[in-house]
Amino acid sequence: MKIAAAATAFPPHWYDQRTLTEALVAILDADERLAERVRALHANTGIDGRYTSLPLEAYAGLRDFTQANAHWLQTALTIGEAACKQAMERAGVQPHEVDMIVFSTVTGLASPSVDARLMKRLGLRPDCKRMPLFGLGCVAGAVTVARAADFLRGNPQGVVLVLCVELCTLTLQPQDRSVANLISVGLFGDGAAAAVIVGSEHRAVGPRICATRSVFYPDTENVMGWDIGAHGFRIVLSAEVPNVARERVPIDVDAFLASQGKSRGDIARWIAHPGGPKVLQGLQDGLGVSRETLRCSWESLARAGNLSSASVLMILEQTLRTNPGAPGEFGVMLAMGPGFCSEFLLLQW
């Protein structure tokens, strides 16, 4: 199995972090004490700016989940289509060649799902298999690629199109003054990312997926996720996430690599979901790698914030474009998400 291409697409609105913070302060109708706390939290995210589905002034007018979800679906289709078409073009794959589309999101709901609504728009075959996924959150970018690889083990000439769309700003909860919410609205942004994964006998070229591993951490269901109700999506985010990244993930990475006869010293490329600055720093410290080694992750966080599932695919795209591996080099693609869980892929160029 090979990763033939990756591509990203964003809504048309981008704002610098300070502008976003001041808009949120106004929406919260925050007193000076709360306003200063929000400004301090957002200033420490390491984010230059983020994309938003709506013009900034429109967020104060969102009345309920129904309205927010309608905007989510409209934007998801637009940028999802753009990311998929660009990924297929880069891979040199025609729509009729796609055997399966795997779609994931955790920021909106639709039935028929987004992948179904994109079938005709993308020109996919009527017998193209669909796998819509919900609830995986940030880990989904890695999971969708891994599940595509599972499918292609039995289809060596096959093609899988992977799409992740996350429109985090549309989950805004103006009444939630929790620290988790105040941090999340300064951290998460909107975007879509797609990738084309092909079987081992397909003509397209790209890094080979050598192996994958899923890891679930028992009794961690309250570490990260959403409280979903009539109010929409309310963030659940524990301060323990950076500790997991620093202490648990490196142990599991080592076990995964050892199962393939490898160690961290064999890895030349790390394609890591950024989470936030504390999570990324924890991962960097735990793995014992330099900031330069995770440069694409830091740059992705600065440019667009945390895009949940789409982030690691955005980092994959940037790695393939600006820091491709030499023939024979190994890389690891990894992400963490609700569960709490991790997903690892061993790649070879």
Q: What amino acid positions are annotated as catalytic residues?
A: 138
Contact 224, 238 (CB under 8 A): yes
Give phi and psi for 216, each to the nearest 5: -115, 135
Please tell me whether residue 112 adopts helix, strand or coil conformation.
coil
Q: Is beta strand 208-216 parallel, antiparallel or unpaired with respect to 341-348?
A: antiparallel
* Range 226-253 burial, b when 16+ CB lie within 10 A, else e: beeeeebbbbbbeeebbebbbebbbebb
> What phi and psi values does residue 336 have, to the nearest 5 degrees?
-125, 155
| Cβ pair 312, 141 in contact under 8 A | yes
Give the separation between CA 225 and CA 21, rounded to whole angstroms. Answer: 23
| Sequence-ordered list of residues with C-beta below 8 angstroms from that of 82, at least 6 positions apart, any chain | 9, 192
